[in-house]
Structure 1
Amino acid sequence: MDDLVSVRRMQPQGTIFVALPNLGPILVWLLTPRMSGWHDNPKKPPWCPPHKVLMTGWITIYFVMGYASYLVWKDLGGGFGRPLALPLGLYAVQLAISWIVLNLFFVAHSHGLALLHLLLLYGLVVSTALIWHPINKLAAILLLPYLAWLTVTASIAYRLWRDSLCTSQQPQPVGDKSD
């Protein structure tokens, strides 16, 4: 409960922690002024959310992750000393990988590489949550929606990657042969 109240008393550095993760989606948005091409793919999963929902999801997740990283930073005394090296270093690595995923997925349309990076990212986020848990339980819990979002994103990337492989050799439904 104290963590929820601390949102109102966030230090000025908290704004930086909350905003920093969103640099990735902002760069993707700037690099791809017209990103609808991949989303118009007829082979995308029928359950794939609209492009705006995907980007809104990523941005929301980044705000939540940023706040969680702020909680860890604050609970370890602030600054950038040795106690913060592992918890925030691991977070920085997974944040960089997540930005790479966004670029592979939305800019490069490389769904196979995005999928590989998403699997790596999943492990990094789980590791981050496990390291953060003893420091700040709420921060660790705030990473759970991120894991759910990565699962959705990975399933979309997998489906797009699978359907892009040898499209002419995709299995066809078996029916009655009338030869």
Structure 2
Amino acid sequence: MTSEFLQIAGAIVLPNVGGIVNARITKNNLENWYRHLKFPSYRPPNWIFGPMWTSLYSGMGYASYLVWRDGGGFGGDAQLPLIAYGAQLALNWAWTPIFFGQHNIFGALIELLALTATSSVCGLLFYKTNKVAGLIFIPYVAWLSFASLLNYDVYKLNRGDKDKKAIEAPTSKKE
């Protein structure tokens, strides 16, 4: 294996690690909390989220490699774009524990809006270093924008009862 292949593989694996960890948090809350929420009619089926996030994480990981390579690594012109990348990745990984772990739909919405803004800035900074890397962020930012709308509507639909259902797991099944 070449050094370049290992660098690309590492860059792709890194964001997926957070996705794998967060998938466990999500899975642990699907039946006991998430399925009891109200959703807008346009919500995608649950099975789409895993492949979608794997694709997006892999793309952003590859984009980070391109910026690192073309921008001179952490000590070169890539430094600011890579800092933005790390910031948006940390925000990305934080959404699941807020939404699924804490059952805090409103807090997750605020966090997701910050993530979308940070990811947009990151994509622009990536574009300045490597156009392909910047363009790879377009589907990611589009998905985050859609996710923000979905998160907002889930919050709106579940904020009745003084946000009780939007924040805490139901204590009894009402179906």
Q: What is the TM-score normalised by the length of structure 2?
A: 0.82
| Aligned-partner Cα distance in 2 for 1:43–1:146 | 25
Equivalences, count? 161
Task: Verify: 1:83 aligned to 2:77, yes or no.
Answer: yes
Query: Who is 2:67 aligned against?
Result: 72
| Contact kept? 1:133, 1:140, Cα under 8 Å | yes
Q: Which letter does structure 2 place at the counterpart of 1:63?
A: S
Query: Who is 2:139 aligned against?
Result: 145
| Aligned-partner Cα distance in 2 for 1:42–1:134 | 42
Gap regions ≥5 residues in structure 2: 163-175
Query: Who is 1:61 aligned against?
Result: 56
Secondary structure, in 3 states, of the residue corresponding to 2:103? Answer: coil
Task: Verify: 1:35 aligned to 2:29, yes or no.
Answer: yes
Gap regions ≥5 residues in structure 1: 1-7, 169-179
Equivalence map 1:1-179=2 (5 Å):
10-37=4-31, 38-41=33-36, 43-78=38-73, 80-167=74-161
The percentage of counterpart residues that share the same residue type is 34
| CA displacement, residues 21-65 of structure 1 (integer Å, 9 cap, x when unaligned) | 012111112335433234423511122112221232122111110
The structure whose residues are more often helix, as a share, is 2
| C-alpha RMSD over aligned residues | 2.3
- Higher mean C-alpha displacement, 25-34 vs 152-161: 25-34
Q: Which letter does structure 2 place at the counterpart of 1:18?
A: I
Give the superposition deviation at 1:125: 1.1
| Contact kept? 2:37, 2:158, Cα under 8 Å | no
Give the superposition deviation at 1:114: 1.0
Find the structure with the greater CA-based Rg. Answer: 1
Distance 1:121 1:33, change over 3 A: closer
Q: What is the TM-score normalised by the length of structure 1?
A: 0.80
| Aligned-partner Cα distance in 2 for 1:115–1:152 | 12
Secondary structure, in 3 states, of the residue corresponding to 1:133? Answer: helix
| Contact kept? 2:78, 2:129, Cα under 8 Å | no
